[in-house]
Structure formats: structure tokens, C-alpha cells
């Protein structure tokens, strides 16, 4: 049983285009995520997974319905307020890693903390501890091009969790790594979920991710057709 509600979506829709060319990407989504959820969002290509993640993360706005984040209605927030919410409370992990190529692994990992104005000593303490936890010790000064795919994704995970967000959204986090590395990444995120209480929501096509999730949400044609724990 989740301790508290992190996200609540009520009758959320998302439409693209207009007239005869309109696409109904999401069709009346009702969904709640609680603290400590470790959930996988699955479905075929075009089912609405990425759209749903983007709306939950405030990267896109819904066409209708309501969204609450930690009890706050976010649908009417300004772009600046949404940006602040993302910076303070939401972490993102992308399948393409989205590391900044001219920054080192350490600089990439501390980037959000830098934006938040965290003092250098605190940034160093947090990132150093997390690098040790995820097996990146000694790689702090390497640039993304000098890291393997799995190592880059670990840097992305540290960047996402270092600010202690309430929610981490992960878009196909194992898509660009081999199965062994993908399994290790899932083990790492499960450990962070268990020990730090971070809520995770993954979009995925990977059966291994589905098996390791404690909650499985299935989307098809913009509708939730299954939600099992």
C-alpha cells in the first residue's frame, strides 16, 4: 500500500491535430501513483506511453481532464512554474541518456543540483556517494563519449535521483543497453526505490522490465486496459 499520493490523473485526454486529421493519443486516463510505486507502463508503439509520461512530467499539457502532483493541480500552472516543479520534484531518465557531451560524468550528474543552487560541498557529497553506490567511482572525469552505454545510463540515473525527487520518469531506460546491463540497471533502480522511497514509472517494451516491476500498467490505443500489482 502506497503511503501517499504522488500523482493523480482524472479523465485525462490528449489530442493532436484537428478536424479529420485529429489523433486521440490519450482517451480519458484515470491513474494514481503513490509514494514507493515501482511501476512499468507497457503497450505497443503508438499506444500513448510517451505522451502519458510527458504529461505527467509537465513536458506537455493535456487537452482535457485534471492532473494533480502531490495534491497540487498543475494544469493551470505557467511554464515557469512547471519548470520549477520539474526541477524540484521530478527526475527524468531518457533512453538516449541525454547527457551533455562537453561535460564530464560528474558535471552531468551534478547539473540539476547546480541549477537548484545546492552548495558545492553538498553537491560533491551527494554525487560522490551516489557514484560509489552505482559503481561509477573513478569515472568522474570521463566524458560521455568515453563511457559505455550502461555507464552513461548510470550517470543519467544519478542525475535524476541526486535532487531527491518524489518521482522518476524513465522512458525505455533499457532500450540501448544489452540484457545483462539492463538487468543491472533495473536492480539498481529497484534498490533506490526500496531504500530511498523514490517512486518510479517506466515506459517499456522490455519483458524483463515488466517482470521486475511491482505494478504493471498496460496502455492500448490511449486507454488503460490493465493495471495489476
User: Residue 73 burial by CB count (10 A; 0-12/13-18/19+): exposed, middle or buried?
Assistant: exposed
The pLDDT of residue 56: 95
The arithmetic mean of pLDDT across residues 89-104, rounded, is 92
3-class SS at 166?
A: coil
Phi/psi of residue 125, nearest 5 degrees:
-65, -45
Please, which pLDDT band fits residue 3 given cuts at 50, 70 and 90?
low
The pLDDT of residue 197: 85
Domain regions of the chain by residue span: 35-50+76-228
Global confidence as pTM: 0.89
Strand partners, 12: 29
pLDDT tens for each residue of 117-145: 999 999 999 999 999 888 899 999 999 99
The pLDDT of residue 179: 86
Higher-pLDDT residue of 68 and 18 is 68
For the chain, give the number of residues. 229
The arithmetic mean of pLDDT across residues 145-167, rounded, is 92
CATH number for 35-50+76-228 (one of 3.40.50.150, 2.40.50.100, 3.30.2020.30, 3.40.50.300): it is 3.40.50.300
Return mean pLDDT, the chain: 92
Phi/psi of residue 225, nearest 5 degrees:
-105, 0
Q: Are residues 93 and 169 in contact, defined by beta-carbon separation less than 8 angstroms?
A: yes
Amino acid at each position: 500500500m502506497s503511503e501517499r499520493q504522488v500523482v493523480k490523473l482524472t479523465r485525462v485526454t490528449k489530442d493532436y491535430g484537428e478536424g479529420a486529421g485529429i489523433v486521440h493519443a490519450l482517451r480519458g486516463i484515470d491513474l494514481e501513483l503513490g509514494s514507493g510505486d515501482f511501476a512499468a507502463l507497457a503497450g505497443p508503439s503508438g499506444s500513448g506511453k510517451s505522451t502519458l509520461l510527458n504529461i505527467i512530467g509537465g513536458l506537455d499539457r493535456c487537452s482535457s481532464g485534471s492532473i494533480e502532483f502531490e495534491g497540487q493541480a498543475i494544469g493551470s500552472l505557467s511554464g515557469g512554474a512547471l519548470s520549477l516543479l520539474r526541477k524540484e520534484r521530478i527526475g527524468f531518465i531518457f533512453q538516449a541518456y541525454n547527457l551533455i557531451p562537453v561535460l564530464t560524468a560528474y558535471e552531468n550528474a551534478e547539473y540539476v543540483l547546480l541549477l537548484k543552487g545546492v552548495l558545492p560541498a553538498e553537491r560533491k557529497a551527494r554525487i560522490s556517494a551516489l557514484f560509489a553506490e552505482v559503481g561509477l567511482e573513478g569515472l568522474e572525469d570521463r566524458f560521455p563519449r568515453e563511457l559505455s552505454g550502461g555507464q552513461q545510463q548510470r550517470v543519467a540515473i544519478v542525475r535524476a535521483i541526486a535532487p531527491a525527487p518524489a518521482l522518476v520518469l524513465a522512458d525505455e531506460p533499457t532500450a540501448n543497453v544489452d540484457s545483462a546491463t539492463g538487468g543491472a540497471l533495473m536492480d539498481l533502480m529497484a534498490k533506490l526505490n526500496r531504500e530511498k522511497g523514490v517512486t518510479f514509472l517506466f515506459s517499456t517494451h522490455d519483458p524483463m522490465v515488466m517482470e521486475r516491476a511491482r505494478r504493471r500498467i498496460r496502455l492500448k490505443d490511449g486507454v488503460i486496459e490493465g493495471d495489476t500489482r
